[in-house]
Amino acid sequence: MDSEHGLARAILLDRDGTINREVHYLSHPAQLELLPGAVDGLRLLQEAGFQLVVITNQAGVARGYFGEADVQRVHRRLREMLAAHGVHLVAFYYCPHHPEGKGSYRKVCPCRKPGTGLYERAARELGLDLARSVVIGDKVTDLLPGIALGCRTVLVRTGYGQSLVKEGALRSVDVDHVARDLADAACWILE
């Protein structure tokens, strides 16, 4: 918490392809593998006083591939893996909905990225200053909420990020920085 402003600065992170290796519909803790640079980058940001918050779409729930309990197990394991390196994730926020999902999960949800719902909820619940926070992800849909809310944004080349850069997909998106990985992102943020 920054006493001057009364609100905390945060790093609002995508999960898959940003912190851990991209796995198609990751549903089991055994599938988790931290990406190179993730631990070092997150530790640097945490030491600089940023709250670390994960915000992720989990359409696999809506599609019936796995349940919300599986998402919780994956998040518990990711928290444990990072805690073993002294990195503390403050909170996880996820959207289990999808417009083409099944049952009650089938809906257009303002929390599903690129919607801003989960970011606004995190700011409200955790006392975050979004104007002094940074959104990091490997896809354009990860960055659009940050742009809409006035956060700085960083695309990491891990996950889908490298192919987006190669395809020129960022030309129409006002991203603040493109980083190799979370360690590189942290260095840029702390400059």
The pLDDT score that the predictor gives to residue 169 is 81
CA distance 162 to 36: 14
39-59 pLDDT, tens digit per residue, is 999 999 999 999 999 999 999
**Could you state, in order of their start, the residue ranges of all structural domains in the chain?**
10-190
The pLDDT score that the predictor gives to residue 3 is 42
* Tokens matching residue 123: 């700011």
106-164 pLDDT, tens digit per residue, is 999 999 999 999 999 999 999 999 999 999 999 999 999 999 999 999 999 999 999 99
Residues annotated as catalytic (active site), given as ranges: 14, 16
67-104 pLDDT, tens digit per residue, is 999 999 999 999 999 999 999 999 999 999 999 999 99
The pLDDT score that the predictor gives to residue 168 is 85
CB atoms within 10 A of CB 187: 15
Q: Give me the architecture of the 10-190 domain, per CATH.
A: 3-Layer(aba) Sandwich (3.40)
Phi first, then psi, for residue 14 (nearest 5°) are -70, 160
The pLDDT score that the predictor gives to residue 105 is 97
